[in-house]
Amino acid sequence: MNLTPLFWILGLLSGSIILFLALASRAKARLKKQYPPIGQMVDIGGYRLHMHTEGEGTPTVVLDAGAGGIGLSWELVRPAIAKVTRVVTYDRAGLGWSDPSPKPRRADVMAEELHTMLTNANVKAPYILVGHSLGGVIARQFAAKYPGEVAGLVMVDSAHEKQMKHFPEAMVKMVNSMKGMMGAMKLMGKLGIFALKPSPVQIGDNGALSKELVAQMQGVMASSDNHLESMLAESESVYAAETQPVSTLGDLPLTVISHGQLDANAVPPSLGQQVRDDYEAAWQKLQAEITSLSTRGRRIVAERSGHNVIFDQPGIVIESVLEMVGTIRNEDPLFIANEEMSHVQTG
């Protein structure tokens, strides 16, 4: 039996795979060079988080993106806030420019990492935490753990710690069935395959972001060795309901912005209208529950937005944050005294 043709085929296949992986590695290195970090790398105990700050004033606004999102996700919101007060965006561990974390991707752990980053970077409290989706869970965990440092919360279509227990069974089954595909995506990210063509990396915007910004975000995510793995770990933690919900936020100023339109990215139409209706009812009920955590909670519905309110109606987020900044400044005796002294000195 002549095995020479088989050896040739195997050799050609092996060589092609090696060449493909080499090209992927080079593409990843090229993207890293093309898109270097725009902020500072803050050591939080043997690994670093990427943080970008802009503006001056207090309270400091900290923007926290949804699962798999990076600081650049806030570019339709951040500049307007930076004109009024200091604003921080960052990439959670393993995402974007940040190093991976050796710790579990639970929301309470990520809240601790955020606190360490702000402390080590000398970004002083008080903070207004603004969280989109998963970022909302992290913000609430932060507020519960460090209540003296948080002046207010803005939840932007925030996820809930136990949401999967409230969603329709068909949706839970769909999520579980996707785990194999997610594992394959994680491997592709590790190998650098997405770096060869970053455009399939989903951003989730509605065309509101500039092409240059979308390309930058896709390039940063595709060039990371850990982005997809960390994103999936974050998502799996939410699916598994690993973090205990916050029971109360006392009288902390709280604004909850909820989507007004159910988009196809949240629940595929293929699951049927009843599943979509049941999901929407559960989501809105959880939004009301989050609002009730504070005696000063109020709720706003972004009527023209799907889940990504920060892209669909960023103006609502900006207005809510700046209104809270004004409220907190008016209630802070030290800030009022400093303002009055400033007017005396310049008047």
What per-residue confidence (pLDDT) applies to 87?
A: 98
Is position 332 within any domain? Answer: yes
Q: Which helix (H) or strand (E) holds 131?
A: strand 127-132
DSSP H/E element including 127: strand 127-132
Residue by residue, pLDDT tens for the chain (347 residues) are 554 555 445 554 555 555 545 566 677 788 888 889 999 999 999 999 999 999 999 999 999 999 989 999 999 999 999 999 999 999 999 999 999 999 999 999 999 999 999 999 999 999 999 999 999 999 999 999 999 999 999 999 999 999 988 888 888 787 777 666 666 666 666 666 666 566 555 566 667 888 899 889 988 988 888 888 888 888 888 777 778 899 999 999 999 999 999 887 778 888 889 989 999 999 999 999 999 999 999 999 999 999 999 999 999 999 999 999 999 999 876 555 455 444 444 44
Q: How far apart are CA 291 and CA 310, in angstroms?
A: 19
Structurally, the chain folds into a number of domains equal to 1
> Residue 219, Cβ neighbours under 10 Å: how many?
22
CA gap 50, 77 in Å, rounded: 19
Q: Is residue 10 part of a domain?
A: no
Residue 84 domain-assigned? yes
CB 119 within 8 A of CB 219: no
**Parent domain of 177:** 39-342
At 337 the pLDDT is 47
* Neighbouring C-alpha atoms within 13 Å toward the C-beta of 301: 8
**CATH label of the domain that carries residue 45:** 3.40.50.1820
Q: Is residue 17 in some structural domain? A: no
Q: What is the pLDDT of residue 342?
A: 45
Q: Is 242 helix (H, G, I), strand (E, B) or coil?
A: coil
Q: Is residue 80 included in any domain, yes or no? A: yes
- Which tens digit of pLDDT belongs to each residue from 184-233? 666 666 666 666 566 555 566 667 888 899 889 988 988 888 888 888 88
Please tell me the predicted confidence (pLDDT) of residue 341. Answer: 42
- Residue 298's φ and ψ, nearest 5 degrees, are -140, 155
**pLDDT recorded at residue 85:** 97
Does residue 326 sit within a domain?
A: yes
Per the CB < 8 A criterion, the answer to whether 132 and 76 are in contact is no
Q: What is the pLDDT of residues 243-261, one digit of tens each?
A: 889 999 999 999 999 999 9
Burial class (CB in 10 A: 0-12, 13-18, 19+), 122: exposed
Look up the pTM and report it. 0.87
Residue 289 lies in a domain: yes
Whether 51 is covered by a domain: the verdict is yes
